[in-house]
Amino acid sequence: MKVNVSGKNINVTQALKDYAEKKLGKLERLFDTPVEAQVTLSVEKERHIVEVTMPLNVNGMLLRGETETNDMYSSIDLVVDKLEKQIEKYKTKIYRSFKKSPSKYNAQERREMDANEPRVVKVKRFALKPMDVEEAVMQMELLGHDFFVFSNAETDQVNVVYKRRDGNYGLIEPDLL
């Protein structure tokens, strides 16, 4: 597994880098194909934050985990545990949907299996008006939402602005493969 470690407000020592690579390397056994992980270590006041992003080579899916503690090594341990649970959950869903033949189960059994899984309960449709990022942020604030989907007038692509925990805003832009 290729692990890229970077730091924000922290000097990433070789020991920290080695520890992150060793811990994340244990996840490699859960994948059938080579995987790359982007790890960002950051310190904000007394909070030691670890963010891990792993693009999965399946339909452009992305695995992401973030944890924070008052110790960087503990944060790394916790994010690896979180990612492992996400991977197991993901693999279980894939196994259920592709490996098991629906014909083996009657309709009632399928409904009972599906009842335990989270599902889409509402679909919302709206017109995407081209606007710049500042206008999208203003629109989000006016609506009182934590995020807002819009068509970026500069790039002609669908973007999402969102409110971050630190009170600032984030922008999600597609990276077309």
Q: What CATH number should be reported for the domain holding residue 91?
A: 3.30.160.100
Looking at every residue in the chain, the average pLDDT score rounds to 84
User: Which residue in this structure is represented by tokens 């449709």?
Assistant: 125
What is the C-alpha to C-alpha distance for residues 94 and 108, in angstroms, rounded to an integer?
Answer: 21
Q: What is the pTM of this model?
A: 0.57
Tens of pLDDT, residue by residue over 43-78, are 998 899 999 998 876 556 778 889 999 999 999 999
Q: Is residue 122 part of a domain?
A: no
List the strands of the sheet with 130-131, edge to edge: 130-131, 147-152, 157-163, 169-172
Length of the chain as a residue count = 177
Q: Is residue 121 part of a domain?
A: no
Which CATH number fits the domain that encloses residue 142?
3.30.505.50
Per-residue confidence (pLDDT) for residue 89, from 0 to 100: 79
What is the C-alpha to C-alpha distance for residues 166 and 44, in angstroms, rounded to an integer?
Answer: 10
Higher-confidence residue of 95 and 11: namely 11
Whether residues 148 and 62 share a domain: the answer is no
Pick from 87, 80, 81: nearest CA to 58: 87
162-168 contacts at long range (C-beta below 8 A, 24 or more positions apart): 166/44
Residue by residue, DSSP assigns 17-71 as HHHHHHHHHGGGGG-SS--EEEEEEEEETTEEEEEEEEE-SSTT-EEEEEEEESS
Paired strand residues for 3: 37
Task: Name the residue range of residue 152's domain.
Answer: 130-172
Whether residues 15 and 71 share a domain: the answer is yes
What is the C-alpha to C-alpha distance for residues 159 and 41, in angstroms, rounded to an integer?
Answer: 26
Higher-confidence residue of 92 and 103: namely 92
Q: Is residue 88 part of a domain?
A: yes
Whether residues 67 and 107 share a domain: the answer is yes
| 77: Cβ contacts below 8 Å, ≥ 6 apart | 23
